[in-house]
Amino acid sequence: MNMSLHRQKGGSLVEMAIVLILFLMIMLAVMEFSITIFRSAQLAEATRYGLRHAIVNDPLGTLPSCPGGDSETTPCDSTSCPDLIDGMANFAPMIIDQEGDELVVTVEYTCPGSGYLDQDGLYLVTVTVTGAKRYLAVSGILGLGVAIDLQDFKSTRLSEDLHTGG
């Protein structure tokens, strides 16, 4: 009888090790998921900021003539639209971190297609962020480099909504 008790002393240690590993895996998964949602919210806010900035400051320089003009679209990076990208990076630093990768910020000015706006200077302004990725920390530590592709972020407003200059 004394021999069987001696053999079972390590059983609780093994059980604790298994439960601890499972618990840590769940906690790390919750942490990674939470950070991913946080980064997604940052990019959504940065897109809204970029839209406000594009309406007020016109980073393109050349705008279509309305009515009937074609849309003007340009990808923005830290050289072509430095103020826009720097401002967006204040909300989502990953815009600067992933700039050379697949992340693309585009600004588009189009003439409103409703027909009742025949006034030049009113545009539908769209800012889009595509190709953003969230690289997982735990897999990076293990050398796996796993990334989650985040959805595309797009925000559109009529320039009259936030226009402050003439």
Q: pLDDT (tens digit, 9 = 90+) per residue, 49-72?
A: 989 888 887 666 666 666 566 677
In this prediction, residue 4 carries a pLDDT of 58
In a domain, 150, yes or no: yes
- Of the pLDDT bands very low, low, confident and very high (cuts 50, 70, 90), residue 81 is confident
Number of domains in the chain: 1
Output 139 or 82, whichever has higher pLDDT.
82
In this prediction, residue 61 carries a pLDDT of 66
Nearest to 109 by CA among 50, 164, 62: 62
Output 32 or 111, whichever has higher pLDDT.
32
Q: Using the CB atoms, write b or e for 47-75: b if 16+ within 10 Å.
A: bbbbbbbbbeebbbeebbebeeeeebebe
In a domain, 20, yes or no: yes
In a domain, 166, yes or no: no
In a domain, 10, yes or no: yes
Q: Average pLDDT over the chain, rounded to whole?
A: 79
Minimum mean pLDDT range among 39-53, 67-81, 143-157 = 67-81
158: helix, strand or coil: strand
Distance CA 114, CA 28 (A): 50
Contacts for 150 with CB less than 8 Å, ≥ 6 apart:
36, 39, 40, 43, 132, 133, 134
